[in-house]
Chain A
């Protein structure tokens, strides 16, 4: 039934009777008493709602404090709920002030602000009012404001001004808001495609390169990469994303019955790259490995000597009930905050310089770039990033992968590269 013409969000219906108030009232029947009562009541309801919903100047600053105070497990919710009812009555000219209140708000309270902004704007527009577009554009231009507040300001503008994308988005290619930057990259890719189709190859390559440099999300990075490679342009995906390609690996250690997740094997106690330890089967020692996968995937089934088929394991000759460790020696000139992001289909833990950053006791629930994120701080000099990758003993064919991919970046996803990083030679170049 894909043949309906859509108008805004409503797709007009064929053969649909004209409906007027009151609902459920067939035109060929006399109006029942209950329906008349309902109609009158609804009229009063509408009047009283208008009365209740009239806008007013509110003390945004004081109310925003309460919305920002929302914490986990319901903390501060009662006060925030009261504050929300008050702030949602604000006049539309207070929208920039409400958006400014999002500065310093946590992920949870950002949603309280968002709902209030939407309620104010939608009510105001329904009543035939106009949004303070100039003030909202000024807010959008102020990169000191909270990224999500600026994004929301843009959405308000774009909701009433069809030219907003063309006017505002091109200048946001390197914006600190990931959402605004994403739109800018998408627009750049669209422009590059148009240039390519018009036969303007040099311009297209330049625009694709700009889009690639600004892209922080995987799908856009892949799209720009594909286009640049079609023009035989060199692209360093692992360098752009910050994938760690060189590792020291050791294993397998025992993870029978998934009990090894909480066992501290020797690499968790001390890093000694020349040491030999008792592994699950025989002795194990550290070996170096450089992945050639441009998204940094390290496949431990390929690296550690496989068990013999038909002996220990019933269905496959892949490793089962095993643990591997991966170590990166990551050199930096300056201390700095970072995010370590891992994609791993197995249970995993990550330590930075001996400090446990994250532990994810999940097996075979998918693997994606940036699946798990952890915050850490690099020290000046050599840092040790240690990863524990635990495979369980499921025999399903879809549960045989034992692999991970890890990158180091900032909160926006911009690569943080090690000083001792070697030039990449991946399967793709």
Chain B
């Protein structure tokens, strides 16, 4: 068989296996949603845990899933200056490879957080592992280093000793990082292939932990990125960084903006919903509601419903068009992890490690409580009907025995 035929089959096999990826914080499209998945609605030590693997360090980052493998970032050491990227086989839970780096930026964080706080991102071919130290490593799916940027090495005053947590997002051929802090504060678009900086825009000198999100453009293939700051939301061309529009509103600095169709859901004045303009100019206000205020988890939109979790662990369901709150449910606990929705079930994991499965409908109902018995801060991933959850010490695959 010729080399080209071998390569063709290799590509074919990759294509067949990559149907259920969870490529970044809140999933491939940033919606925290896997409509057709059905992970187990309950689990325990003896039921529906496919495997549990040890991790080499702490992390508030979530796992991502690419081509049948799960990728997790961790930080370890007394100064948390050892950075890890670990790849697991989804079928067996075995470690496929493990890379370590030394942090080049600041590694102080609040004890609750970790240097591995941002969730990594992938374009399906590469892993972009980002850390509170502002180190950005790019590896291929087999762990080969493609490039490595120390963004605080470039801009030494970039850092926040409470810890940075903004997750990168891949928008087309650009990976966007948002590094807002009291020192060198900026967002940047990095070429996914070369690691070169495509653009860099100054941001306000205030600590901000939110993550950017992609906004599909009007033209085919054109993509913008939304940056949420304390004083408003801005849309930027993903290739140039050019500011396309700005909407001034005092935004939260913890939960992140979400997009669904032509609506934008901003954690601001409670929850502020905008409708995109047809001509890609400044969007218009649809409604805002203090009753729907999310914190610290980000809002989730499923069809004509928007869901937010507040500081007290109360889940609110609202109407997307009107903002009217339809029901509330006390889930309990503090949710640093943004819940995920599979079908009509929402998986809510609080920071004490209690996972509540909520049946969504005309009202919400907790159908099971499942204890991880470890602190959970990272948002889970869903892939091929399984739920992937990480703590400071472990990674779990929650899946039915037979699918």
With a cutoff of 8 Å between Cβ atoms, the chain A residues found around residue B135 in the complex are: 111
Interface flag for B304 (CB, 8 Å): no
Given A44-B9, A72-B154, A371-B161, A122 and B196 contact (CB-CB distance below 8 Å) = no
User: CB-nearest residue of chain A relative to B44?
Assistant: A1
Given contacts A114-B102, A366-B108, contact A11 B54 (CB under 8 A): yes
Is A128 interfacial (CB 8 A cutoff)? Answer: no
B109-126 near A? 1/0 per residue, CB < 8 Å: 010000000000000000
Report whether A111 and B50 are in contact in the complex, using a CB–CB cutoff of 8 Å.
no
Beta-carbon contact of B154 and A116 below 8 Å? no
Per-position binary interface string of chain B over residues 245-278, scored 1 when its CB falls under 8 Å from any chain A CB and 0 otherwise: 0000000000000000000000000000000000
> Which A1-25 residues have C-beta < 8 A from chain B?
1-4, 6, 8-17, 19, 23-24
A73 touching B147 in the complex, CB below 8 Å, given contacts A47-B6, A366-B161: no
Per-residue CB contact flags for chain B residues 374-387 toward chain A (1 = under 8 Å, else 0) read 10000000001000
Q: How far is the CA of A363 from the CA of B6 in the complex (A)?
A: 58
CB of B322 within 8 A of chain A?
A: no
Contact B195 A74 (CB under 8 A): yes
Residues of B within 8 A of A34 (CB): 16
Tell me whether A118 is interfacial, beta carbon within 8 Å. Answer: yes
Best-buried of A19, A48, A115 by chain B (most CB within 10 Å): A115
Across the interface, B90 reaches (CB within 8 A) one of A1, A14, A23, A49, namely A23
Which chain B residue shows the least CB distance to A359?
Answer: B157
B: number of interface residues (CB 8 Å): 78
Residue contact A10 to B101, C-beta cutoff 8 Å: no
In the complex, what distance in Å separates the CA atom of A81 from the CA atom of B139? 11
Comparing A35-43, A131-139, A281-289, A414-422, the segment that makes contact with chain B is: A35-43
Whether B311 is near chain A, meaning CB under 8 Å from some CB there, is: no
Partner of A110, one of B7, B44, B102, B396: B102
Q: Please tell me if A108 contacts chain B, counting CB pairs below 8 Å.
A: yes
For B52, the chain A residues whose CB sits under 8 A away are 1, 4, 11, 13
Q: Are B154 and A73 in contact (CB under 8 A)?
A: yes
**CB-defined contacts of B403 to chain A, threshold 8 Å:** 24, 26
CA distance A161 to B348 in the complex (A): 43
B327 within 8 A of partner (CB): no
CB distance from B99 to the nearest CB of A (A): 6
Chain B's nearest CB lies how many Å from the CB of A259?
14
Indicate if the CB atoms of B401 and A17 lie closer than 8 Å: yes
- Bound state CA distance, A88 and B145, in angstroms? 9
Cβ of A219 within 8 Å of any chain B Cβ, yes or no, is yes
Docked complex: B2-27 residues within 8 A CB-CB of A:
3, 6-7, 9-10, 12-14, 16-17
Q: Given A26-B403, A73-B154, are A11 and B53 also a contact pair (CB < 8 Å)?
A: yes
Q: Which of chain A's residues have a CB closer than 8 A to the CB of B384?
A: 24
Whether the pair B10, A119 counts as a contact (CB closer than 8 A) is no
B402 contacts A17, CB within 8 Å?
yes
Name the B residues within 8 Å of A212 (CB-CB).
none
CB distance from A348 to the nearest CB of B (A): 12
Report B-chain residues with C-beta under 8 Å of the C-beta of A110.
102
Q: Indicate if the CB atoms of B10 and A41 lie closer than 8 Å.
A: yes
Pairwise interchain contact A9-B95, C-beta atoms closer than 8 A: yes
Within 8 A of A (CB), among B64-92: 68, 78-79, 90-92
Q: For the complex, give the distance between the alpha carbons of A38 and B68 in Å.
A: 13
- Output the residue of B53, B161, B195, B207 with the most chain A CB within 10 A: B161
Are A3 and B13 in touch, CB under 8 angstroms?
no
Q: How far is the CB of A114 from chain B (nearest CB, A)?
A: 6
Tell me whether B195 and A77 are in contact (CB under 8 A).
Answer: yes
Given A44-B10, A72-B150, verify A10-B54 contact (CB < 8 Å).
yes
- Assess whether A143 is interfacial by the CB under 8 Å rule: no
Complex contact B6–A44 (CB within 8 A): yes
The answer to whether A114 and B100 touch across the interface, beta carbons within 8 angstroms, is yes
CA separation between A173 and B94, bound complex, in Å?
A: 36
**A160 located at the interface, meaning its Cβ lies under 8 Å from any Cβ of chain B in the complex:** no
Query: Bound complex: CA of A129 vs CA of B289, how far in Å?
Result: 63
Q: Is the CB of B49 within 8 A of A14?
A: yes
A361-376, CB < 8 A from B = 361-363, 365-366, 368, 371
Q: A247 interface residue, CB < 8 Å from B?
A: no
Chain A residues within 8 Å of B372, by CB: 1
Q: Does A275 sit within 8 A of B, measured CB to CB?
A: no
Is A325 part of the contact surface with B, judged by Cβ < 8 Å? no
B89 to chain A, nearest CB (A): 9
Q: Which residue of B lies closest to A20 (CB)?
A: B91
B394 A11 Cβ-Cβ under 8 A = yes
Contact A85 B144 (CB under 8 A): yes
| A111 and B101 in contact, given A9-B95, A13-B50, A119-B144 (Cβ under 8 angstroms) | yes
Known contacts A73-B154, A111-B101; decide if A48 and B7 are in contact (CB<8 Å): yes
Q: Contact partner of A108 among B98, B104, B144, CB < 8 A?
A: B104
Known A37-B16, A111-B137, A360-B157: A45·B9 in contact at CB below 8 Å: yes
Whether the Cβ atoms of A118 and B100 lie closer than 8 Å is yes
B160 interface neighbour in A111, A365, A368, Cβ under 8 Å: A365
Contact call B47/A115, Cβ cutoff below 8 A: no
* A14-B46, A365-B160 known; A2+B10 contact, CB < 8 A: no
Contact pattern, A 200-240, Cβ under 8 Å of B = 1, otherwise 0: 00000000000000000101000000000000000000000
Closest B residue to A366 by beta carbon equals B161
- Docked CA distance A8–B94 (Å): 10
Give the docked Cα–Cα distance between A80 and B144 (Å).
13
Closest to B142 in A: A49
B residues less than 8 Å from A404 (CB atoms): none
Q: Does A112 reach chain B (CB closer than 8 Å)? A: yes
Is there a chain A Cβ closer than 8 Å to B287's Cβ? no
In whole Å, how far is B223's beta carbon from the nearest beta carbon of chain A?
22
In the complex the two chains form, what is the Cα distance from A118 to B87 in whole Å? 14
Knowing A10-B51, A114-B100, say if A26 contacts B402 (CB, 8 Å).
Answer: yes
Closest Cβ of chain A: how far from B398's Cβ, in Å?
A: 10
Question: Chain B 171-186 against A: per-residue CB contact (8 Å), 1 yes, 0 no?
Answer: 0000000000111000
- B305 lies within 8 A of chain A by Cβ: no
**Interface assignment of B197: CB less than 8 Å from any CB of chain A:** yes
The interface residues of chain A lying within 8 Å CB-to-CB of B3 are: 48
* Cβ-based interface call for A319 (8 A): no
In the bound complex, do residue B374 and residue A111 qualify as a contact, i.e. CB atoms below 8 Å apart? no
**Nearest-Cβ distance from residue A226 to partner chain B, whole angstroms:** 16
How far in angstroms is the closest Cβ of chain A from B160?
A: 6
Determine whether B199 belongs to the interface, using a CB cutoff of 8 Å to chain A. Answer: no
Determine the chain A residues whose CB is within 8 A of the CB of B396 once the complex forms.
1
Given A10-B95, A74-B197: A361 and B183 interface contact (C-beta under 8 Å): yes
B114 to chain A, nearest CB (A): 14
Asked whether, in the complex, the Cβ of B92 is within 8 Å of the Cβ of A19, the reply is yes
Contact between chains at A108 and B95 (CB < 8 Å): no
Q: Are A77 and B161 in contact (CB under 8 A)?
A: no
A219 (CB) vs chain B CBs: closest residue: B78
13 sampled A-B residue pairs with Cβ under 8 A: A38-B13, A41-B13, A41-B16, A44-B10, A44-B13, A74-B194, A74-B197, A80-B147, A107-B102, A107-B104, A114-B101, A122-B98, A371-B108
Known: A72-B150, A111-B135. 19 other contacts (CB 8 A): A1-B44, A2-B374, A8-B95, A11-B51, A11-B52, A11-B53, A12-B51, A23-B17, A38-B16, A70-B148, A74-B194, A77-B195, A107-B102, A118-B143, A119-B99, A122-B98, A362-B181, A366-B162, A368-B108
Closest 7 CB pairs of A and B: A41-B13, A11-B52, A41-B9, A115-B145, A45-B10, A366-B161, A13-B51
